[in-house]
Structure 1
Amino acid sequence: MDLTPGESPGFLLWHATLRWQRDIAAALTPLGLTHVQFVLLACAWWLNTQGEHPNQLTLARQAGTDIKMTSQVLRALEHKGLIEREVDPADTRAKRLRVTHTGADLAPRAIAAVELVDKRFFRPVPLDDAVTLLGRLARPQPEDDE
């Protein structure tokens, strides 16, 4: 069956993703964060609340981001006073991350703003269906033998 571009799942996903990214950016701009800054701050904050002080590699893995880009964004978050990078006593080459008081105040507010965007964006789809579909799409699948 030939699909028009408007019926192509990839093309539709592209447009949905662009719309979602615009909505996220609009919610985060008043808080002074880019989307990737938000993701790294939120992940670091969450890990800190679990008693962990991750290094940059651990944070990049948690967030699903490139390690070099993570380092650059963390420098920006550090410059904003939201994150502190401390030398890891166990490995002096590594930097352990701690969210500052300012960052710990901002992270939950940013998370709430993003969750509101998600709630509005995904309103047309039952939440369980959206989570199931996106969970499948987010994980690599073995190649079909067809």
Structure 2
Amino acid sequence: MPKEINFHFKSPKDSPGYLLGQLTMLWQRKLKKVLDPLDLTQTQFVLLAALGWLSKKNDSVTQIDIANQSNADRMMVSKVLRTLEDKGFITRQEHETDTRAKTIKLTNAGEKVLQNAIIEVENADLDFFSTLDENLSPFNANMAKLIDKNKNE
């Protein structure tokens, strides 16, 4: 007879990590449906969106800026940015003052695909989270707290 396995939580629905994992998979599936027609992965969209946000305030956005904005691994960001460059959505040029850095800019095609993706993703988000109604703001605030607490670990 197998040894009994003990869990802290009485059921999976009591485990925040399990629920977060399930919710994340469902949300990613929904985003995949809206991003596939735009020839973007979720990661590509996140990095383009980070570049879009950062470009509103800064003309010299670097790969490190994008990695920091998106809480992403720098090596992964580098690889994904190469893919986005191959697709014609961004350009990478030598930084004016830092020879180790590259300045990343959206191309016209990148701006267009990002704007279309933002509309699709925001609509998907509104639909996905619609059952939260007036609880959406506190839900977002709690997620932001968790991100702030755990992002440097």
Shift in alpha-carbon separation, 1:81–1:2, aligned structure 2, 3 A: closer
Q: How far apart, CA to CA, are the structure 2 residues paired with 1:5 and 1:83?
A: 42
What SS does the aligned partner of 1:140 have?
helix
The residue aligned with 2:4 is none
Answer yes or no: is 1:23 the counterpart of 2:1: no
Answer yes or no: is 1:128 the counterpart of 2:137: yes
Answer yes or no: is 1:68 the counterpart of 2:75: yes
Give the TM-score of the pair, scaled to structure 1. Answer: 0.90
CA RMSD of aligned residues (A): 1.5
The residue aligned with 1:140 is 149
List gaps (5 residues or longer) in structure 2. 1-7
Instruction: Using the TM superposition, give the Cα deviation of residue 9 of structure 1 relative to its aligned residue in structure 2, in angstroms.
Output: 1.9
List gaps (5 residues or longer) in structure 1. 142-146
Instruction: Using the TM superposition, give the Cα deviation of residue 2 of structure 1 relative to its aligned residue in structure 2, in angstroms.
Output: 4.7
Q: How far apart, CA to CA, are the structure 2 residues paired with 1:51 and 1:7?
A: 44
**Pairs within 5 Å for 1:27-106:** 27-106=34-113
Q: What is the number of residues matched between the two proteins? A: 141
Quick check: 2:9–2:15 contact (8 Å CA) kept in 1? no
Quick check: 1:85–1:96 contact (8 Å CA) kept in 2? yes
What SS does the aligned partner of 2:59 have?
coil
Runs of 4+ in 1 over 2 A off after TM superposition: 49-53
Quick check: 1:60–1:70 contact (8 Å CA) kept in 2? yes
Instruction: Using the TM superposition, give the Cα deviation of residue 7 of structure 1 relative to its aligned residue in structure 2, in angstroms.
Output: 2.7
Quick check: 1:55–1:95 contact (8 Å CA) kept in 2? yes
Q: How far apart, CA to CA, are the structure 1 residues paired with 2:60 and 2:120?
A: 25
What SS does the aligned partner of 1:30 have?
helix
Q: Which amino acid aligns with 2:112?
A: D
What SS does the aligned partner of 2:31 have?
helix
The residue aligned with 2:21 is 14
Instruction: Using the TM superposition, give the Cα deviation of residue 79 of structure 1 relative to its aligned residue in structure 2, in angstroms.
Output: 0.2
Give the TM-score of the pair, scaled to structure 2. Answer: 0.86
Q: Which amino acid aligns with 1:62?
A: Q
1:36-63 Cα shifts (integer Å, max 9, x gaps): 1001111112222334321111111011
Quick check: 1:122–1:130 contact (8 Å CA) kept in 2? no
**Pairs within 5 Å for 1:112-123:** 112-123=119-130
